[in-house]
Amino acid sequence: MAHPALVPPVLVDPLPEYEDSVGPRRRRPSAWHLLLLPLSLVMLTPLAWMVVTAVSTVQESRQFPPRLPSSIQWSNFVAVWTTAPFGRWLINTAVVSAIVVASNLVFCSLAGYAFARLRFRGSGLAFMLLLATLMVPFQVVLIPTLLIVKSFGLIDHLGALIVPNLVTAFGVFMMRQFFLALPPELEEAGRMDGASRAGVFLKIVTPLMGPALATLAILTFLSIWNDFLWPLVAIQSPENMTMQLGLSTFQGSHLTDWPLLMAATLMSQLPVILLFLAGQRMFVRSIASSGIK
């Protein structure tokens, strides 16, 4: 064998390019469409049918087998606004959501940060108790909460929907997890640079809370939006009802006027569906992260 020093180095050929998947070759439509398309249509059917019925007349809705309406009846939508305090329901829900979300963002961040970063006597016990409340189903505290709210004179008042929800244990837990995951060096650097504890929180930590706050906001909003049992029990007057509650009473009193009912349902869901479509990536990410327990 020749001495290695005598063999001149050889230039190795560059590797041939991989067959590029993008190219003139026409891509065949995937077979998955055969499965996904019917699936999506089935999932969308209830919503689609709701829309169809909402623009039908009562007679058209009583056809069997059902037929598509001959013309679009906008009158149903108008009727909903006039026969029920629909606008009030919308405003009530919006007000309650806004206040509850805002207060949760503030209080859960403060508490979550304190539990994650600050050391003070009693913090362990306080956090344990907080966690414990997470395990208790709402139905257990339903009646006593009602009695407490009654003693504050908030029955049949929007306050009954707001006050018990100003802070949620879940929100605190979530924010604590977030703060625990922040690298402590950032705050240490801040302290070395001379910021006080509050300064560190406001100037360094708060700007980084964006995504976590967005998630908390979305999840809190969804839970308020969906809440039914509590408003059912705490609110009686139609003007103070939330959308959910209002819709159910509406349904109770217009049982056979399906177009009217569907119009009401459609209008009640439209804001949230539009919100979802606008921010669906954030929504989906928030819901996915609620699974990381």
Partner 1 sequence: MAPIVLDGIRKVYPGKPPVVALESLDLTIDDGELVAFVGPSGCGKSTVLRCVAGLEKLSAGRVVIGGREVQELPPGRRDIAMVFQTYALYPHLTVYKNLAFPLKERHVPRERLDSDVRRVAEMLELTPLLRRRPAQLSGGQRQRVAMGRALVREPVAFLLDEPLSNLDAKLRTQMRTEIAAIHRRLGITTIYVTHDQVEAMTLGDRIVVMRDGRLQQVGTPAQVYENPSNLFVAGFLGTPTMNRIVGHTSHGVVTAGSLRLAVPGAPDGESVLGIRPESLRMEDTHAGWPSFEVAVSHVEALGNENLVHARVAGRPAQLDLDSASALAEDTVVFRAPPKVRPETGGTVRVQLDPSQLLLFDRPTGERIRLLGPATVIDSTEIIH
Partner 2 sequence: MVRTAEAPAASAPVEGRPSVLRRVWWSDHLAGWAFISPTVVLIGLFGLVPVVWAFVLSFQQNDLISPGKWVGLANYKKLLHDPLFANSVRNTIVYTAVFVPVSVIGALLVAAALNRRVRGITFYRLAVFIPVVTSTVATATMFSWLLDPDFGLVNAALSKVGIASQGFFRDPHEALMSIVLMTVWGWLGFGVIIYLAALQSVPADLLEAAAIDGCSRWRAFWRVEVPLLAPATLFLVIWLTINALQLFDEIFVTTKGGPVGATTVVVYYLYQQAFQYFNGGYASAIAYVLFLAILVVTVVQLTAGRRLSHAER
Q: Of residues 82-141, which lie at the interface with partner 1 (CB under 8 A)?
A: none
Could you tell me which stretch among 3-11, 13-21, 63-71, 202-210 binds partner 2 (CB under 8 A)? 63-71
Nearer to partner 1, 204 or 233 (CB): 204
Q: Given the structure tokens 């009473």, which residue do they identify?
A: 249
Partner whose binding site includes residue 163, from partner 1, partner 2, none (CB under 5 to 8 Å by kind) = partner 2
C-alpha angle 77/93/97, rounded to 5°? 145
Could you tell me which stretch among 78-86, 114-122, 181-189, 208-216 binds partner 2 (CB under 8 A)? 114-122
Residue 235 sits in the site that holds partner 2 (CB under 8 A): no
Residues 6+ apart with CB under 8 A from 189: none
* Distance from C-alpha of 261 to C-alpha of 59, rounded to nearest angstrom: 14
Question: What is the closest distance, in whole angstroms, from the C-beta atom of residue 49 to partner 2 in the complex?
Answer: 5
Q: At what angle do helices 210-226 and 86-117 cross, to 10 degrees?
A: 140
Partner whose binding site includes residue 80, from partner 1, partner 2, none (CB under 5 to 8 Å by kind) = none
For partner 2, the binding residues in 212-231 under the rule CB under 8 A are: 222, 225-226, 228-229
Question: What is the closest distance, in whole angstroms, from the C-beta atom of residue 185 to partner 1 in the complex?
Answer: 4
User: What is the full DSSP assignment across 242-262?
Assistant: -HHHHHHHHHHH-TT-HHHHH
Write out the two tokens for 106. 């503030």
Distance of CA 2 to the CA centre of its chain: 73
Residue 199 sits in the site that holds partner 1 (CB under 8 A): yes
Burial class (CB in 10 A: 0-12, 13-18, 19+), 93: buried
Partner whose binding site includes residue 291, from partner 1, partner 2, none (CB under 5 to 8 Å by kind) = partner 2
Residue 102 sits in the site that holds partner 2 (CB under 8 A): no
Residue 39 sits in the site that holds partner 2 (CB under 8 A): yes
Burial class (CB in 10 A: 0-12, 13-18, 19+), 73: buried
Burial class (CB in 10 A: 0-12, 13-18, 19+), 234: buried
Residue type (1 letter), 176: R
Question: What is the closest distance, in whole angstroms, from the C-beta atom of residue 275 to partner 2 in the complex?
Answer: 8
User: What is the full DSSP assignment across 77-100?
Assistant: HHHHHHHS-HHHHHHHHHHHHHHH
Could you tell me which stretch among 43-51, 72-80, 183-191, 205-213 binds partner 2 (CB under 8 A)? 43-51
Compose the 208-237 pattern: x for residues touching partner 1 by CB under 8 A, - for all others.
Answer: x-----------------------------
Residues at the interface with partner 1 (CB under 8 A): 183, 185-186, 188-196, 199, 203-204, 207-208
